[in-house]
């Protein structure tokens, strides 16, 4: 049974080219895989139906009860009629199928005027806090949009595309050459209609027949919590509208994350460095530690050593899944840098020496870069031999 291409597009058999084009554009926008991933098969059916009904010769075959997409395989080499069956009439037909014929072999045919649009890319600058919390931003984009004057058809009101006289509506120019194996047919896109098979005698004054114009518009992007530098957010159907008013591509918003003055990001974890006086590390203390959600108390145990890392669980960045949802948070790692005083007055020096004596720690005397302790005495003894 032949496929009912009119039913697939939802138009009557008396529909003109404009009605068929409008029906296709409407369905293509609804069923495009980027907009409706579950409708990929239905989208291909609609696309195939438009390619058939927009071609005058293929539409004539449909109106006669045939199916132009099924005729190529009606007979074939394995058909009941063999070489003389419904598929091929004989050896001459076989050669024509492979190498073409002087009367015009089967080419690829005209390409559709309606084509899918390309994707667009725009970048957005965010702070670490915005990446952590998520944010809604209004962006100004400059893309191709549907021409409102002709609604994508490319022609002025009352005008319609007509078959190209140069290629006869085939969309390509064929060149036949003789060789020792017979006639070889080569084809190239028609330079007049650019492979479309039709021309617009009275193109739209707003878009020049392209079916789209460039315009600046505003879109709102929802940035989910947990995004990071270089990540892209896909906005389906917000990219460039295709030629002939075809379905728009996607708009990708790429995140550029600004460096933070305090935190350093490592995936979902955050790192920071806190300077701690030597006495506080020895005696222990409580600090007010900065986090993305405000200050928290950080307890430092007595005897904390330089390079100690305190981990605050769940105080890092949200963990973003591929679904766009967050699942928990990373950690905040606080690196303690214990500072040794560079200059001491006499009283401070005395107190430290008393502390060293109480701890039983031998402290060699410092004298102009030379140590007079045990190591210094050994060197002096060596020189006195």
190 is in an annotated binding site: yes
In the chain the first and final C-alpha atoms are separated, in Å, by 116
Instruction: Tell me the domains of the chain and their CATH numbers.
Output: 1-73 (1.10.287.110), 116-155+205-259 (2.60.260.20), 264-339 (2.60.260.20), 348-383 (no CATH)
Range of lowest pLDDT (5-19, 140-154, 357-371): 357-371
131 assigned ligand-binding residue: no
* pLDDT tens sequence across 227-280: 999 999 999 999 999 998 889 999 999 999 999 999 999 999 999 999 999 999
Is 272 annotated to bind ligand? no
* pTM for the predicted model, two decimal places: 0.61
Say if residue 62 is exposed, middle or buried (CB neighbours under 10 Å; 0-12, 13-18, 19+). Answer: buried
**How deeply is 109 buried, as exposed, middle or buried, from its count of CB atoms within 10 A (0-12, 13-18, 19+)?**
middle
Residue 151 φ/ψ region, left for φ over 0, alpha for ψ in the -120 to 50 degree band, beta for the rest: left
Average pLDDT over residues 87-93: 38
Residue given tokens 């070489």 in the structure block: 83
**385 CB contacts (<8 Å, ≥6 apart)?**
none
Is residue 167 a known part of a binding site? yes
Encoded tokens for 192:
């007049």
Structure tokens at 109: 């045919």
| Alpha helices (runs of H) in 179-298, residue ranges in sequence order | 278-283
Instruction: Find tokens 């009912």 and name the residue.
Output: 4
H or E element, residue 331? none
Q: CA–CA separation, 319 vs 299, rounded Å?
A: 27
pLDDT band, residue 32 (cuts 50/70/90): confident
pLDDT over threshold 50, residue 372? no
> For residue 124, which phi and psi values (nearest 5 degrees)?
-135, 135
State how far the Cα of 246 lies from the Cα of 151, in Å rounded to an integer. Answer: 11
**Average pLDDT value for the chain:** 81
Confirm if 77 and 162 have CB atoms less than 8 A apart. Answer: no
For residue 285, pLDDT beyond 80:
yes
Q: How far is CA 17 from CA 20, 147, 197, 198, 209, in A?
A: 5, 18, 14, 12, 16
Interval 158-194: pLDDT, tens: 888 889 888 888 888 878 777 666 677 788 889 888 8
pLDDT tens-digit series, residues 348-368? 888 988 888 888 887 666 555
- Encoded tokens for 5: 């291409």
pLDDT at residue 375 tops 80: no
What would the pLDDT profile of 47-77 be if each residue is shown by its tens digit?
888 888 888 878 877 777 777 776 444 333 3
């Amino acid at each position: 049974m032949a496929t009912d291409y009119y039913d697939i597009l939802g138009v009557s058999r008396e529909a003109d080219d404009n009605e068929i084009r409008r029906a296709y554009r409407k369905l293509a926008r609804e069923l495009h895989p980027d907009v409706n991933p579950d409708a990929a098969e239905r989208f291909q059916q609609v696309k195939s139906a438009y390619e058939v009904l927009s071609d005058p010769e293929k539409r004539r075959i449909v109106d006669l009860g045939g199916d132009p997409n099924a005729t190529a395989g009606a007979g074939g080499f394995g058909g009941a009629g063999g070489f003389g069956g419904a598929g091929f009439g004989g050896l001459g037909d076989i050669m024509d199928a492979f190498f073409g014929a002087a009367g015009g072999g089967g080419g690829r045919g005209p390409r559709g005027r309606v084509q899918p649009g390309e994707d667009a890319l725009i970048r957005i600058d965010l702070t670490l806090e915005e990446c952590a919390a998520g944010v809604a931003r209004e962006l100004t984009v400059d893309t191709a949009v549907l021409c409102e004057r002709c609604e994508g058809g490319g022609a002025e009101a009352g005008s319609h595309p007509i078959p190209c006289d140069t290629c006869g509506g085939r969309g390509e120019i064929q060149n036949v050459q003789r060789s020792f194996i017979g006639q070889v047919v080569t084809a190239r896109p028609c330079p007049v209609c650019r492979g479309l098979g039709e021309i617009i005698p009275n193109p739209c004054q707003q878009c020049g027949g392209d079916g789209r114009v460039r315009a600046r518009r505003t879109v709102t992007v929802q940035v989910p919590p947990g995004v990071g530098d270089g990540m892209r957010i896909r906005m389906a159907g917000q990219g460039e509208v295709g030629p002939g008013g075809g379905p728009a591509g996607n708009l990708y918003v790429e995140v550029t994350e600004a460096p933070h003055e305090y935190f350093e990001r490592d995936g979902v974890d955050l790192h920071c460095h806190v300077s701690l006086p030597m006495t506080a590390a020895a005696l222990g203390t409580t600090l007010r530690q900065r986090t993305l959600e405000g200050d928290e108390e950080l307890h430092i145990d007595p005897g904390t050593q330089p390079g100690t890392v305190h981990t605050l669980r769940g105080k890092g960045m949200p963990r973003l899944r591929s679904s766009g949802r967050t699942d928990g948070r990373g950690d905040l790692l606080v690196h303690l840098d214990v500072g040794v005083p560079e200059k001491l007055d006499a009283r401070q020096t005395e107190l430290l020496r008393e502390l060293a004596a109480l701890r039983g720690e031998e402290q060699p005397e410092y004298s102009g870069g030379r140590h007079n302790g045990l190591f210094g005495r050994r060197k002096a003894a060596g020189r006195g031999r």
